[in-house]
Amino acid sequence: MKNFKKYLSFFGQATRKEFWVITIVSTIVFIASMAILMISGIALDISAGPIFLVVSLLIVLFSILILMTMSRRLHDINYSGWLVLLFFVPFVGWLFLLMVAFFPSAEIRKIKKPQTTGRKVLIMSLIILGLFWAVFVTSVMVVGIVQGVMEIDRGDTNNKNGDIKITQDGNITNLETTGNLKITHKLKCLSPQDIKPEYTPADLMPAVVDCINNEKYENGVILFSVASLYGRFDMERVKDDTAHQAISALIANHLQFMDTPNKKEYNKFFKNILNRMDDSKDTSTLKKSVCEGILNVPMPTYFPSYMIYHGMDAFDTNFDVKNGVQEIDSVESFWNGLLKERFEGCF
């Protein structure tokens, strides 16, 4: 315990090895802690406020630990520990402390007793850290408010044409294009032969859910596969790369948080189908039925506005949805190649 207290003090000395070990380990632990906080916050749907507060506290704690170690490092080379306050001088102070951190230990101790009063340096460090934190938080808030006002103003302008939908969730303003993932045909669970080329992935995903709820797992797998196939086709012709996440968003919206006994059975059925697809020797009726259902679907003829409106380009004041697509060379050849690429086990 006595040795441990040594590392939580501004007094004493710290060799180069001790300084760098503590600094590197502290940095790794700090980065790992922030990563875990961010990941867990997203997974548990925790708002940014609590995460930001905890991360801020971690920054303060780890900064104090490094300041303590730096103070002892300065003592070890016969420098005053008060020089640790140069930590708060950007660039010049950082460069100086980085250089002296590499100095070898002094052979003769000129400073018999530490010149640094630990309590005073700690209080001074806390005050400066608090000021830095307050300035940082204020800056973030001001930038957020300015951006929010600009987005709302832009949203109101576009909203006259029905392009932008603005919703308020507490203090958070959400902007969404009205055509984003828009459903154009309200579908129930379909048989493969009833799939039409004007049905978009946004139309088909709710039908997949209906198939699962009604225990029509084979139809559900085929519809999901077709929706994914159509989505991949649309990614080739939609110009805006940021819009290509539309399929992932559809899957997340309709299936990711669906937790029912039927969904678990559907997942088992889907896994069984995938295993059969990978087995070139499988000649079962089930595999043949699923393959025929997928390979016989028509090439899509709809305009992929559901995906175009999902991209960042749709927020541009000069945005024109008609300019959101590009021609595919040899479209039929591309379509056939896409079928073979994604469903190789059916050929």
- Rounded to two decimals, the pTM is 0.54
Closest CA to 26 of 72, 58, 74: 58
pLDDT tens readout for residues 135-158: 656 655 655 555 554 544 444 444
Could you state, in order of their start, the residue ranges of all structural domains in the chain? 2-143, 192-346
> What average pLDDT does this structure show over 292-321?
89
As a whole-number percent, the residues of the chain with pLDDT over 70 amount to 73
pLDDT at 297 (0 to 100): 93
Distance CA 307, CA 325 (A): 10
Interhelix angle 118-159/48-76, rounded to 10 degrees, is 150
Structure confidence at residue 46 (pLDDT): 47
Token pair in block for residue 107: 């052979």
Over 90: is that where the pLDDT of 124 sits? no
Give the side-chain half-sphere CA count within 13 A for 127: 7
Compute the Cα dihedral for 291, 293, 299, 301 and give only its sign: negative
Angstrom distance (rounded) from CA 324 to CA 90: 46
Mean pLDDT, rounded, for 127-139: 63
Q: Is the pLDDT reported for residue 111 higher than 60?
A: no
* Residue 157 and residue 313 in contact, taking contact as beta carbons nearer than 8 Å: no
SS3 content of the chain, % helix, strand, coil (to 5): 65, 5, 30
| pLDDT at site 44 | 47
CB 304 within 8 A of CB 230: no
Q: Which of 21, 17, 16, 11 is nearest to 103 (CA)?
A: 16
Is pLDDT above 50 for 31?
yes
The three-state secondary structure class of 166 is strand
Mean residue pLDDT of the chain comes to 80
Contact 280, 215 (CB under 8 A): no
Residue type, 312: M
pLDDT at residue 171 greater than cutoff 80: no
Q: How confident is the model at residue 162 (pLDDT cuts 50, 70, 90)?
A: very low
Q: Are 86 and 93 in contact (CB under 8 A)?
A: yes
How many whole angstroms from its chain centre is CA 322?
30
Q: Which residues pair with 177 in a beta bridge?
A: 164
Q: What is the mean pLDDT of residues 94-123?
A: 69
